[in-house]
Structure 1
Amino acid sequence: MTTTAAEYDLALPRKRVAAGILFFDEHDRVLLVDPIYKTPWEIPGGAVEPDEAPRAGARRELKEELGLDLEPGRLLGVDWTPPRPDRSEGIVFFFNGGHLTAEQHAAIQLQPDELRAYAYVPLDEIDRRLIPLLTRRVHASAQARAQGTTAYLENGNPT
């Protein structure tokens, strides 16, 4: 029996995809959020849904979590993560959110089913709130933002 191109395509492995947005304040501190459903802090964002572009997923997650409907800025980084015993491999996209205006900041409404709190944290202190993988991602994305480049990472490490 001959396999069609569509059948071949549908049989290919699928990867988890997530997207987040990095916001900074005037002191270049990064905005972190404290999820209710897990212990470590995160950046705004989450899983990209089927048939949804990563940028659209980041925007949707931002609206769901913080009540802000903002278009993500340029791509800061992409990270491939290998499979683990409890997770399949994945790809995560990081977009620049820039600085929130005073009006935007005042409009933040935490989704009570998802987030406990948010805080701006200096880059040299984020390791106290984030898992090491996310700490590496945020540092690489912040560096790419400062340099006007895009970071490619594997398991949070620049290649």
Structure 2
Amino acid sequence: MRPTPDDPDAWYAYLAEGNAKQARKRVAADLLLRDSAGRVLLVRPTYKPGWDLPGGMAEDNEPPEGAVVRELAEELGLAVALHGLLVVDWVAPHGPWDDQLAFIFDGGILDRDDLHPVDGELAEARFIVVDEALGLVRERMRKRLAAALRAQHEGRTAYLHDGTALW
């Protein structure tokens, strides 16, 4: 017989068992940060090839918006304010990875050319013209970044499946 809330200890154990069986999602949280010329901030990680948006993976029980704020502080020494959510992308399992949820938040405008990595995870950070930025990032990020730019322009959040907009 299934426990009921009338027996709080048994009910809590029942719920905890169900929680342990639920799927866990990896969560990535990135930031679209532009300068007043419209260029996009990209970073070049040391642990993978190519360029990327600043941000990273959420830690256990960390909300996506907390992850992106933490990552920008850790990697670039920036205290950022978020101006909204631009993209949610469900990424299907690929290679050795399970599926994940990837978020891109709007970081607004930052006019600074003196950005320098403050930890070993980044080799470089710089603002890059949009067309060039789209050519520097990997295909998965290219689709997500293009959707984020559209969402920012349209003032609405985009929901994607592997980079393809559903709405």
TM-score relative to the length of structure 2: 0.87
Gap regions ≥5 residues in structure 1: none
Q: Which residue of 1 aligns with 2:94?
A: 84
Instruction: Give the CA RMSD over aligned residues.
Output: 1.6
CA distance in 2, matches of 1:83, 1:26: 37
Of 15, 18, 21, 2:25 maps to 15
Secondary structure of residue in 2 paired with 1:144: helix
Using the TM superposition, give the Cα deviation of residue 111 of structure 1 relative to its aligned residue in structure 2, in angstroms.
2.3
Q: State the identity as a percent.
A: 37
| Superposed CA offset, 1:79-111 (max 9, x none) | 000011311100011110111144xx54x3412
Gap regions ≥5 residues in structure 2: 4-13
Q: Contact 1:140/1:158 (CA < 8 Å) preserved in 2?
A: yes
Q: Contact 1:35/1:42 (CA < 8 Å) preserved in 2?
A: yes
> Is residue 138 of structure 1 aligned with residue 148 of structure 2?
no
Q: Contact 1:58/1:72 (CA < 8 Å) preserved in 2?
A: no
CA distance in 2, matches of 1:11, 1:125: 44
Q: Which residue of 2 aligns with 1:157?
A: 164
Q: Contact 1:78/1:92 (CA < 8 Å) preserved in 2?
A: yes
CA distance in 1, matches of 2:138, 2:163: 11
| Structure 1 residue ranges (4+ consecutive) displaced by more than 6 angstroms after TM superposition | none
Of 9, 28, 33, 2:38 maps to 28
Aligned residues: 156
TM-score relative to the length of structure 1: 0.91
Using the TM superposition, give the Cα deviation of residue 72 of structure 1 relative to its aligned residue in structure 2, in angstroms.
1.9
